Each structure stands twice: as C-alpha cells, then as structure tokens.
Amino acid sequence: MLAAAAGLLALASCGGAGGSGSETPRPASAVVINTVIIGFTRDPDELPFNPRAARLQQATQQLTAIAGHPVTFQFDVALLPQWQSSFESALIDAIENVARDLQWLHDHDAAEFAFGDPAFKRIECSYVAVPSRDKDAFDPDSGTLRIHLSSEDGQFVPRDEVLREVREAYWQSLDRRFGNVEPEQADDVDLYFKWITNDRNWGEYVDLGTQEGLAEAPRAVRIGRVARLFPRIAASSADDSTYVRARKWLAEQVGYFADAYAEHEAAVRSSPATSVFHRAEAAWVAWLGANVDRLPAHDRFEVVDRLAVERRGDRERPLGHGRYVDIAFPGFDYLAYAMKVTDEWAAAGHPMKSDDGGDQWLLFIHVACPAPRDAYGRHSSFFSCNHTLYQYAMDRDPSMKGLAAYLLARKDPVITEAAFVDLIRLREQGTYDATVSLWRALEGDPSEWKVATGVVADQVGIVPDVTLLYDEAQRQWRALPAQRGATLYLVALIQDEAHRDLVDGKTFARTFGSQASEADFAGFLDQNAMAPGYAASVWPALTAGWSRAGVIVPRLDRFLDLERNVSTMAMASRSVDGIVSRMCDDHAAKDIAQMHAYLERRVSTHASEQKDLETLLYRTIPGHCSTGD
C-alpha cells in the first residue's frame, strides 16, 4: 500500500534499478520516496537533501497520488555547487510543481491527462555553462523531459513546465493523426473537432486583402473543416457536448466573413471560387442555412446581426446605391430571412415589450423593429434598432417591389405599420422616394394602403420635406377617389402638425381638383378615434348641401372617451368648440341643434364632464353661438 511505502527509503546503486527493460531506468544513485525516484548522474559526496523531511514526504505523496506510477528526477551533479544550500527546497518545489501540473490536466482535460500521465516518466536536469537557447524538450517515446539549467536559473522545474511540454506533445500527436485527414474521414469526430479548433491551429496571420491571403487563409481552412464535420457530430443539448460547442464555435465565425467583406471587398470579389476563403465560405453558408433556426436565441441574434454587411466608410452613401455589400454570404438571402423573422414576430402575437417577446425578443427588435402605439393610438415612440430590414430592402431595390409583395401577401396591418414607421424614421437620403414607392405599391389593397397612410400622417412631423408629401396627397386625391378619407386625414395632419401655411382650405378645390364630399368626410373621421379633433381644420374643404353634424355626432363618443381616459376633457372640449364655431360660421342651425342634443345626452350619462362641456351646451342654444351673448 502507498501509505506503507511512504515510510520506506531506499538507496540504490546504478545496478539497483531492477525491474524489466520497459521500466524507466533509475539514475546511477537514487533515493526512492513513495514512488518518486530522486537520483544523480553519479554519487554525490554528500546527499544534498534530507529524505525524511516532512515537506518532501508530503510532496512525493502528492505526486504519487496523481501520477499513479513511478516518476524519476535525475540531476546532473554539476548542478550541486550552485544549488548545495537550496537543493532540498528547490527539489520539493519541483516535485510540487509537477504534481500541480498533472492535477490541472486531470481536472481540466481527461484526454490530455490520459495521454500525458502514463507518457510522463522522467525529468533530467542537466547543467549548461551558458544559458541555452534550445527549449526544454519532452520526448514522449522515452517519457523524458530534459531541462537545461545554468547559473541564471532559479528553479529546477518551473510551474507549468510539465503542463506545457506534455500538452504540446499531446497536440503534436493529434497533428500526426489528423493533419492530412478530411473531416468526412475522421475516425473520431469529437477529437477531430477538439484538434481543429485548438488555438495552436490558427496558423500565421495572412492579409485577406491580397489574393495570396485568400488563397491560403488558415482560419478559413478551420472554419470550412468544422462546417463540413458538423453533420457528423451527434446532436446533444448538453452544454459540454461537442455538438453544442461546435455550433457555438461556428456561429462565432460570422464576424470573420463579415469583416472580410467590409474591409476587403475588392479582393474577395475578384478571388476565384476555388480559393480557400470561398470554399470555406460555401461550407459555412451551407451550415448556416441548415442550422440558423436551431441556434440558441442570443447566438441566432448575433449571427443575423452581422449578415447584412455595410461597406466600411460608406455610411453616407445613399440607400439604393450600394451601401450594403452585395457579395456577402452568397447563397443566403438576408432579406428573405429577415422577413421570415418578422413572420415569427407576427406569429408570436406582435409582442411590443420584452415580457411578451420570449427569448427571441432581441432578434424581433433588431429585425422587425416593431412600432408600439401610445395611448392615443399613434406611433410616438419606437425601439432602438438599426432598421436594417428596411434599409437593406431599399438598398437592394429602391422600387421596393420585394417589400411591397411581402406586405401585400401578409395583409398584416401591424407589420405594415412597423415598415412605414421605420422607413419614415430613417429620414436618410434616398429614403423618401423609396417610401413613396412602397406606399404607391399598396394602392391596389385599400386596407393596407389606409394603414400606411395613417402612419405617414401620424409621422408627418418628422418627414424631411413636407411639400413633397403635400404634392403626393394631391396626386392621391385624384388617383384614389375611394380613399379620399385617408388622404383628407393626411392633409389635416400636414396643416396642424407640420406646415400650417402650406394648406389653404379655401383653395382646396382648385389645388386638389374637387372638394371633399360627405363620404370623404366620413372616411376621414373613421381613420381613428382622434380624427374628430382635426375636423375643424378640413371644414373649408367640404362640399355644401349636407349635414356635418349627421356625420360627426355618431363618432364623437369614441373621441371624447379617448380624451377623457388619456388626457383631460378640457382638451377635448376645445376640439369640439372648434367644430361648433365652424357650424356657427355656416349658420347651420339644424347642425347646432343636433350638437346641443348630443351634448345634453352626453352630460346625462357622464356627469363628471358637465363642467368641461357647459360652455358648449350654452353655445349650442339657439342664438348663443357667440360666447359673448
């Protein structure tokens, strides 16, 4: 037993090594403590250490326990003059360092320990007068680590020396095993992945801006091999499995290609398809297409975030003029995939906050860039996203036919809202024309076009050139007579929130070709609950001969309810007061009477509003239009 052996000390001569020829030979003179053999190249005049020292006993026990086999330390007697007084301490340090290194291997990498521990048998420390430039070397065939020591050295075996040398020998053994093996022929898939992704296999730096660099590309070689190996790796959900680690590793390589496209586009574009870079690119893109939806949420986001590659230094390039690198990730359609993610967002119920978005929320925000509504139902706030889907769509096709086809196929008003909110908020060179192109492309679908027009109206305050928007409203009025309610709402918002001097209701008929009919006014009021608040603005544009109150009154409850819940009745009453003033200007007694009857009914069911509506009640009494009467 080891405990019993710990107390045995044996002095052995050169011929006393004993054992079979396969055992590690003992030094000429040796002391055996536990299974640790300490010897010298010849008998020293005096043993430079105390074999019974407690710390030495403890150190050898540690090494015996972890190694599980004899380990020999042989010292050149030429070292003794320098080390005589400190030999015992340095010896103990050496044994402890070897034990720690083997323990680290045991705890961190079973395969490396299984290779290195039985292979490591002997340390030979020899004296050199001049510090050697030759590295210490471990010979796995003989199990010997040879260390050259000079007067400048302060330790026999520094910490991590055995660890470094044994690990290097292990990796060299894998180099010999796998160096010329393609991933499809690897006999041990897990070990092959470990070997190919080890840091020592990165290879030397190459400039991907040169054809030579793209032709060699050591990192691309590794990426291509792992991508080709991946289908052979057994699927697993365990965090420490080869499958999970390989999936993570491959996902992280997206930046390698994205940076190459952005920084070295010309070289990548002209590089032949047979180059190492492009072969690896093809393998990685094939892996991506098969696995992107299986990636964990954060990894999926990180990958998709890099797939649309902007040209470096071309941030000011107008969209539609090649801001995005068109050769990036050939075979993977970023725009189609971004639309797929948007479909996922819709299928999840159009979540507008992280609590509802699940683990894909970050991806939804980045790609779909949702457009939340405020209490008034307008898009006054938005998420911090890059609007990449919409920028990319514009850059690829300024006519926006692809995005229009997607919106028309989905017929999802929330997706349409998101698209137009993002397009308008971009406010960059080239975006207005693309926005109008998309807007016009929806004209064949009245419901989708109405949604888009409502968003444009709500966002009118940030449209760069409202005069162009006003011109488009004139075109719409003539081209889309059935949709004039939405156009009238847009005109009202231009007047009230963007450019009051641009709209002249008195010349509306001349500017737009005709005035707004009763049906147009009804369509205007039906845009949303807030529309009655803008009714007074469009009043001069209305045709004569019909009751305004007959159209407005049925829609006032929704407006007043919203204002009461969100803001104050005082604000609502001011809007209604504007409508009453218009009726008074028209001397529309029947309309005023109808308004008075409505207000009386409203107060009878909403007593809390009486104070805010009492002035309106008074003004709508016959003969009291003027508050001064």
Beta strands in 217-335 (DSSP E): none
**DSSP letters along 219-285, please?**
HHHHHHHHHHHGGGSPP---TTSHHHHHHHHHHHTHHHHHHHHHHSHHHHHHS-TTSHHHHHHHHHH
116-121: average pLDDT: 94
Residue 627: pLDDT over 90? no
Confidence of residue 341 (pLDDT cuts 50, 70, 90): very high
Digit-coded pLDDT (tens) for 64-96: 999 999 999 999 999 999 888 899 999 999 999
Residue 239, exposed/middle/buried by CB under 10 A (0-12, 13-18, 19+)? exposed
Structure tokens belonging to residue 185: 């022929």
Name which of 193-207, 403-417, 506-520 the model is least confident about: 193-207
Q: Are strands 36-40 and 122-127 parallel, antiparallel or unpaired?
A: unpaired
492-519: average pLDDT: 86
Please identify which residue in the block is written with the tokens 């065939």: 141
Residue 428: pLDDT over 90? no
Confidence of residue 121 (pLDDT cuts 50, 70, 90): very high
pLDDT of residue 342: 97
pLDDT of residue 462: 84
Confidence of residue 14 (pLDDT cuts 50, 70, 90): very low
pLDDT of residue 429: 60
Contact 215, 274 (CB under 8 A): no
pLDDT of residue 372: 85
Reduce the DSSP state of residue 320 to 3 states and report it. coil
Please identify which residue in the block is written with the tokens 């400048």: 152
What DSSP character marks residue 318? P
pLDDT of residue 65: 97
CA distances from 300 to 248, 254, 305, 345, 360 (A): 10, 11, 8, 15, 9
Name which of 124-128, 188-192, 205-209, 497-501 the model is least confident about: 497-501
Q: How many CB atoms lie within 10 A of CB 502?
A: 13
**DSSP letters along 410-456, please?**
H--HHHHHHHHHHHHHH--TTHHHHHHHHHHHTTTSHHHHHHHHHHH
Residue 13: pLDDT over 50? no
Please tell me the pTM assigned to this model. Answer: 0.83
On average, the pLDDT of the chain sits at 89
244-265: average pLDDT: 96
Of 578, 563, 544, 547, nearest to 609 by C-alpha is 563
Where are the chain's structural domains?
A: 2-174, 179-309, 333-460, 465-541, 547-629
Digit-coded pLDDT (tens) for 291-304: 999 999 999 999 99
Residue 290: pLDDT over 70? yes
pLDDT of residue 238: 96
